[in-house]
Amino acid sequence: MRFAVAERDAALAEAAGEVLAKQAGAERIRAGWPGGDAEAVDAVWRTLAGVGVSGALVQESADGLGLGLDENALPPLMEALGRSGLPVPAAETVAVGAPLLAAAGAPQLPDVLKGSALITVSLTPGAPVPFAARADLIAVPDGEGLRLFARDEVALEPVGSVDGSRWLAQVGAPAGGGLLLAEGPAELAVAHRRGVLATAALLLGLGGRMLELTVAHVRERQQFGVPVGSFQAVKHALADVELALRFARPAVLAAGWAQAAGDSEAAVRTSMAKVLASEAARKAARTAIQCHGAMGYTTEYDLHLYAKRAWALAADWGGPAEHRESIGRRLGLAGPADHVSEGADA
């Protein structure tokens, strides 16, 4: 099967990419780390919201773009956002938070669509929540539901992360409080699959950006009087990264198609996409650092802004091992006692 991106979906990704190319350089990514100017990051996010990014999956009747509900709009948009490295809760907002706010008729939706309110979401009970330490709205699990809270309604305890711009925090929310956004295994499973898909696409973008930076470096860097990129070992290492990304991209598009079409194999396809995208991004980060030599190992170098994000996202919304296990269960490769319900899986 061949997967192609619809013209208007590609147009949104292109519009977002143009904004990011102009406004989201490495200095903006650094601004998102503790001690930086977070408002500089928020300004870019508001600009993106202005072209419809935050409401891409929200129906037009709720002032969204109405994309992705029956099409495959999410992967190309998230790949463009991933390539930029902009430290915002993109997957949590575009794929999960905004559509759930719209479905619930939440009064907070307009502010989220305008980018004036930052929302983050976690579907894993007890896990640190990305961007919770600076989000205005936080959605966390409560029993078999997902509830939305304002920042001042919860207790926050910051947690360290390999990527400091993720602003992780443990969230203590009152049981039964807040606004109910989703309830039951089926609704939570759909939301979770969208979050996984969006994160996989972000990883593709990050991998592509690290490969791009590395190719530019090895063309310019000289050793023994010739460019480092002329060495066969470097060429093969970078070719392997390109190959991994090219194998992962169709899997991500296939997962997006399966979710949009309501395909019975959507969960398996989504887990496959996350596995391949995570491993491709990790390979890109490892190879990029090696090809940059000693300078690649310094955290002050721009490459690390993308590598650290890739390491964090590869583990977020389920790491490769977790998704492989999920695929195995669905294929009947685990024992009967290991099987779980549809809603508890990816």
235 and 202 in a common domain: yes
Q: In this predicted model, what pLDDT tens digit does every residue of 21-70 receive, in sequence order? A: 999 889 989 999 999 999 999 999 999 999 999 999 999 999 999 886 55
198 and 136 in a common domain: no
Q: Is residue 306 part of a domain?
A: yes
> pLDDT tier at 140 (50, 70, 90 boundaries)?
very high
> pLDDT tier at 156 (50, 70, 90 boundaries)?
very high
Question: What's the rounded Cα separation, in Å, for the pair 97 and 343?
Answer: 18
101 and 16 in a common domain: yes
User: Over 80: is that where the pLDDT of 269 sits?
Assistant: yes
With a CB cutoff of 8 Å and minimum separation 6, the contacts of 23 are 43, 44, 47
At 8, the amino acid letter reads R
For residue 295, the model assigns a pLDDT of 85
User: Over 90: is that where the pLDDT of 121 sits?
Assistant: yes
**Domain final residue, candidates 168, 183, 198:** 183
For the chain, what is the domain count?
Answer: 2
User: Over 60: is that where the pLDDT of 345 sits?
Assistant: no
Q: In this predicted model, what pLDDT tens digit does every residue of 183-202 receive, in sequence order? A: 999 999 999 999 999 999 99
For residue 79, the model assigns a pLDDT of 97
**Cα-based angle 37, 300, 224 (whole degrees, multiple of 5):** 150
**318-331 average pLDDT score:** 93
CB 39 within 8 A of CB 88: no
Q: In this predicted model, what pLDDT tens digit does every residue of 166-179 receive, in sequence order? A: 999 999 999 889 99
Q: Is residue 252 part of a domain?
A: yes
Domain with 151 in it: 7-183
51 and 156 in a common domain: yes
167 and 209 in a common domain: no
DSSP 129: B
User: Over 80: is that where the pLDDT of 235 sits?
Assistant: yes
For residue 6, the model assigns a pLDDT of 67
Nearest to 132 by CA among 167, 162, 101, 164: 167
Q: Is residue 105 part of a domain?
A: yes
SS3 content of the chain, % helix, strand, coil (to 5): 60, 10, 30
**Domain final residue, candidates 183, 199, 234:** 183
What is the overall mean pLDDT for the chain? 91
User: Over 60: is that where the pLDDT of 340 sits?
Assistant: no
Q: Is residue 1 part of a domain?
A: no
Question: What's the rounded Cα separation, in Å, for the pair 341 and 343?
Answer: 5
Nearest to 217 by CA among 247, 240, 237, 194: 237
Question: What's the rounded Cα separation, in Å, for the pair 346 and 258?
Answer: 13
For residue 70, the model assigns a pLDDT of 57
139 and 257 in a common domain: no
Q: Is residue 199 part of a domain?
A: yes
336 and 206 in a common domain: yes
Q: In this predicted model, what pLDDT tens digit does every residue of 305-317 receive, in sequence order? A: 999 999 999 999 9
**Domain final residue, candidates 183, 217, 243:** 183
Question: What's the rounded Cα separation, in Å, for the pair 53 and 148?
Answer: 21
123 and 31 in a common domain: yes
User: Over 70: is that where the pLDDT of 2 sits?
Assistant: no
Q: Is residue 300 part of a domain?
A: yes
> pLDDT tier at 3 (50, 70, 90 boundaries)?
low
